[in-house]
Amino acid sequence: MRTSLKTKNDEAPFRLSWCLASLMSIALAGCQPSQGPATADSNTEADSASIRSEADAWFKAIAAKDIEKTLSFYASDAQYLSAGRPAAATPEARRKLWVEDYATPGFSSDEVTAQIEVARSKDLAFQRGTYVSTMQNDQGQMTQSTGKFLVVWKKQGGRWQAIIDMDNTDQ
């Protein structure tokens, strides 16, 4: 019978090296770049396209001054945060602001989406863009206002709905 001349102390450096190598492997695995929101899943692209379609239909409803269609894109608990106006957190308050806009002589609005990002959870997204609004001022002159908007979308019952709609002017 052969007897090992190694003692427990002789194995300690090997065990320490093995532990350090294991910890480094775990740490490096955590440093790998994660997939971005758009590449996380092919369904994310489909969700982004769905939101773009909803947004385009919303823009058309605004251009047509179709109040019912305009309001249909909001979730029931949505907030409409329009520049220089009180927050509209109820369906009635949102209706009031849009009715005021549509009743303004010469009102029109042209929106352009710059970006849509869908969360990895695929139940929230944001859309940001710009707009140009035209309306008649108190002196009867047509004026233009440019600005930015941000819409937070939430997927509810299989449909994307706006839960926050915020805009502000560039001036």
Q: What's the structural domain count of the chain?
A: 1
Residue 10 in any domain: the answer is no
Residue from 37, 46, 71, 54 nearest 160 by CA: 54
Q: How confident is the model at residue 41, as a pLDDT? A: 58
Residue 2 in any domain: the answer is no
Which residues span the domain enclosing 48?
A: 42-169
Q: How confident is the model at residue 61, as a pLDDT? A: 98
Residue 49 in any domain: the answer is yes
Is 31 a residue whose pLDDT tops 70? no
- Identify which has the larger pLDDT, 32 or 68: 68
Q: How confident is the model at residue 129, as a pLDDT? A: 98
Residue 24 in any domain: the answer is no
- Residue 2, CA distances (Å) to 5, 6, 111 in order: 9, 12, 85
Backbone phi, psi, residue 26, to 5°: -65, -45
Residue 96 in any domain: the answer is yes
Q: How confident is the model at residue 6, as a pLDDT? A: 41
Residue 157 in any domain: the answer is yes
Residue 29 in any domain: the answer is no
Q: Give percent of the chain with pLDDT exceeding 70.
A: 75
Locus of tokens 């910890």 = 23
pTM score, whole prediction:
0.74
